[in-house]
Structure formats: structure tokens, C-alpha cells
Amino acid sequence: MCGIAGWIDWQGDLSDQGAIIAQMAETLQQRGPDSHGHWVSRHAALAHQRLIVIDPLTGGQPMVYQDGDRTYAITYNGEMYNFRELRHELEGYGHTFRTRSDTEVLLHAYVEWGEACVQHLNGIFAFGLWDEQKQQLLLARDHVGVKSLYYAHRGSAILFGSELKALLAHPLVKPEVDATGLAEILTFVRIPGSGIYRNVHELRPGHMLICSEQGTRMSRYWSLRSAPHTDDLYTTAAHIRGLLEDTVKHQLIADVPIVTLLSGGLDSSGLTAMAAKELQHEGRELHTYSIDFVNSAQHFQSTPLHPSLDAPWVKRVSEYLGTHHHTITLENSALVESLLVPLHAHDFPTAGQMTSSLYLLFQAMKQDATVALSGEAADEVFGGYPWFHSEAALSGQTFPWTPAFLGPGKNPLAWLSADLLQKVQLTEHIDQQYRAAIAEVPRLEGEDPLAARRREMFYLNQTRFLPFLLERKDRMSMATGFEARVPFCDYRLVEYAWNIPWEMKMADDIEKGILRRAFASVLPEDVIRRKKSAYPNAQNPLYEKATREWALNILHDPNAPIHPFLDAQVVRALVESTDAGVPGIGLVSLPERLIQINEWLDTYQITLAL
């Protein structure tokens, strides 16, 4: 994994603009701490920060390939899992290679197939490829959106980067946020393709953008398609198992130590079992990692999202599979100290300790390894969350996870000022984005109303909730120079599972029943039957006390930039309330939100265009 940045200007001369492109790349140093480089021609400047995973000696970037009088340059972030097969295919067409890297394979794939090269890729990627002869830039992002890519048009120029901070480092991009961007931050309802900042965009998953002096052309190269599912239960489970075995095998390819995350839940346990089996064939022991919190058992309270502690199940699975397990136990003080890490990694306010704790986990893992397999997307693909099984959620007309982010009650945004609510129209924003998402759902002709509604629910989760989790995983891993791979995001599995009917996904009358059947041969029965438990949090009153005091200090500071956002009387009462920030009630507490928003307004020097 790496950090990429680029600056194209068809009407300007960038030949001596190496300092600015290097400045853009330097903001991404944490994504690629091992090496860096940049390449500049008259109208194109590309930069790269490298995290070495494959081909440490000759895989440096930006990578340039010359074929006669044609020059191609690429800056690439990600992993192409089928690069060995593609290399063999391209060699059959006469291509020769000087490195062992997947980057060079991608360059040659473009030479062979042009823009259609993305149709041949299986991996997680975001890249910018400059065709010097055509004076054309190709930006592309992986099928499901594991790797991020932002871009902005400014006059005759286009700028792009792995993270927003790379764009903000360029003098043409200002930290301006309009009402729509602010609504996205305050509601956690993002608009696909939005980059939060004014006139900044995020390339959507499964899309590519072709840019030339004549203009830009957006193209979607992959999407979900609805069709009748014709496989029986046994064949379906076997096919899922085969896809996952192949995916795990390919995602274990690395020239650096590779491990797995293990929570003791179905998803991570199944992947760990497959990875352990694969490594055993090579005579290697698998190392596994889990997160825990000081005094977690003492403070644990069962909730619908967290019905059980992970620790006993982690021990059960590790011993069963014979892995070398490491438990990373986090102190309360470390959680408080790292609360602002997610803000600076995302470049806008986001969730609190559920994100900062992940950063601390990866920070500890980085001491031993560079790559980990993780279980994200299984719940979105196979229907594991409680709201998939809730009549209220199925009959509702909004995003079912909204209360978990905004808090319970009929008016969870009451802490905001009346003036801000009038200008930003948060409720209307949520409704509008919900309707836009529903309008995109690929329908299946003849499907009964309940099945059609469930299809909507899956679409909402895969295109609106999963991006939050993938963005979180990318930023927190990359903030420590660590790579997280997500086998359940293999587009072949996502495509196949999309059309599996609900009754089959609920095989044996349990959530993700079909996935449990797929893992039945590699996990013990009690693990197979364990109820879904979400990523853990520290249900520690000391954390709640510390963040509440921090938030109150902000409220007492007359110069705090957040004040115009707030209904002072309401917000103070809420923060002083004993349950204002109790972990477990929601995915982010009010004090965490206040702290991050205030810091963002201050350190990013945000200009609001309301």
C-alpha cells in the first residue's frame, strides 16, 4: 500500500514544479514510509510514497515505461491479487518485464488493453496513469472501493491524491466547506463521489475517470447486477467456500510478514482458518491479533451490537487452529490521547474511539508485521447486522444505522443551533440521500415486495455503510504504514452473494447461515453458531469522564470556533448528562463529536460557505 498524488495541467508548464508535487506527497508520508519519488514532464507531475510489500528492490514508483516513442507513467496504490496470472497472459502477447512488481504488470496491461485494462484486474487499487503521447490521464478505483482516490478540477488543472490532505497541500485547493459538505459531516450520510470540501470529489468504486485537455469522461466499469440465483444450497455454500479459499490464497502473497485479525467471530475466524491452513502447507505458523481494553470484562454491558466479549472466543479459535496469538490491550489514557488521530487521518471529523482504537491496534501490529487479513464486508454481503432482521428497519424509510451514529431519540441533532439547522437542512439531506440510494438499486423483475425490500437493504449497506468501514480501515492502517486486506471485498464474491436469496443466506435459521455452512469444515461448531458481535469498544467510565471534561473545556472557551454551531443550553445539558458519552449507546458519543469538530475548524482553518 502507498500514497499517491498527481497534478496535470494541459495549459501550464510543470517542468519546475517538483517542489509542489513533492509537498503534496509528503503529506502522505505515513502511508508510504519506506521510500518516495516523483516524476515530472511538461504537463504532468506524479508522486508516490511507498510501503514495500512486493518486490522491494525494483518496484519503486512513479514507474515509467517507454515503448518506442510512447511514454507511460503511473503512480499506484494497492495490491493486484491476480498480477501473476496477468503477467503470464501478457508475456504470451510478447510483453517482457524487468521487475517482479504488480505495478509493472498494470502498466503493461494498459499498453495492451488501454482503458479496458481495469476489466482484467482483481485487487484493491487506486491509480493515476499518464499517457504522454495521448496527453491523457486515467484515474481508476477498485470495484468495491477499498482504496480511496480524491480529485479536484482547478482551471486547466486536475489534482488527485490518496487522501484529501494531498489536495489541500496544493495552493489551488482551499479548505472551504459548503452546506452540503457540512451536512455530510454532521449526519454521517456521505454523498457517493463527494470529497466533503467544496468542489473536491472522490472517485466512486468501480469507476474510472479519463481526463484530457478536451474534458473529462466518467466511466463505470463494474456494478452489481440482479438475476435469479439458480444454485442449490449445497452448491452455493461450496462455491462461497471455493471463492474464499482462492481469495485468501492470493491475498497471502507478500514479501513481508503477513498476519490476520481475529475477533473470535465467524468472519475473522473463517478467514484465519483458511489462512492458517494455507501457511501450514508452506511450513509456516500464522500469527493472529485481537484488540482488548483494560478491565473490559469488569465494564462490559451486553448490547444488541455487542452481545458477548471477544476474548474467550479468540482463545477458543486460536487454540483450535494452532495460531500464535497476540492480544493488544489498550489503556484508557491511550484512547483519549489518540482521539484526534482519526480526524487528521480522514481530514474531517469522523467516529471516535471505535476508530482511534483501531489505529492503536495497527500501531502495535506494525512492530511485528506489515500486512493483515481482515473480515470487513461479510456483514454487508451476507446480512449480519441486527437491522437486517428488524421489522422496524425493513419498514422504515431511512438508513437503518442512523440512530447508532446520531444517538437515540426523536431529535438527536438538538445540540445544534437553530440557525445552523436552518442553513444546512440536515433532515432533508438524510432523506434526499436515502431516496437517491434507493433509486439506484438494481431491481429483479418479478421479485415479491419483501424480497425487493431486502435487496434494497443490502444495497444500502454495501454502497452507503460499507464505505464508512473501508475508509476507516484504510486510514487507520495507513496512518501507521500498515496494509489491511479484506477478502470479503473480492468482487467475485460480492457479485455472487448479491443474488443469493434471503432464505438461503439465512440457512439453518441464523444470520449469515450460508457463510456458516461455507466455514463448517474449518471451524468448531460453537464458533460457527456464535451470534454476531460488532467491533468492540471500551465501555470504561473513565474514558467517558475524560472526553466529557475535554468537551466541557471547549464549551467554556469563548474563542472555541465550534460555538456558532451549537445551542449552548442544550449542548451543555447533554454533555453534563451521565449518559452523554457512555460507550455502547452509539458508535460515536457527543463529546467525541464536539472535540473533533472544534479541532477541525481550528487546525484546518475551515472557511464555511453557507
Asked if residues 122 and 109 have their Cβ atoms less than 8 Å apart, the reply is no
List the beta strands (DSSP E) in 360-424.
371-373
Q: How far apart are CA 160 and CA 3, in angstroms?
A: 11
What DSSP assignment string belongs to 294-306? TTHHHH----SS-
Q: How far is CA 7 from CA 2, 157, 189, 268, in A?
A: 17, 7, 29, 39
Known binding residues for ATP are 261, 291, 374-375
Distance of CA 463 to the CA centre of its chain: 11
Neighbours of 410 (CB within 10 A): 5
Quote the cell numbers at residue 245: 479459499
Q: How far apart are CA 570 and CA 215, in angstroms?
A: 49
- DSSP strand pairing (215-220 vs 207-212): antiparallel
Asked if residues 455 and 440 have their Cβ atoms less than 8 Å apart, the reply is no
Confirm whether 211 is a catalytic residue: no
Angle at 59 between CA 92 and CA 374, to 5 degrees: 95
Q: How far is CA 70 from CA 130, 234, 255, in A?
A: 11, 52, 32
Known binding residues are 102, 261, 291, 374-375
What DSSP assignment string belongs to 262-293? --SSHHHHHHHHHHHHHHHHTT-PPEEEEEEE
Q: How far apart are CA 520 and CA 550, in angstroms?
A: 48
Q: Which of 581, 369, 418, 481 is nearest to 2 (CA)?
A: 481
- Annotated catalytic residues are 2
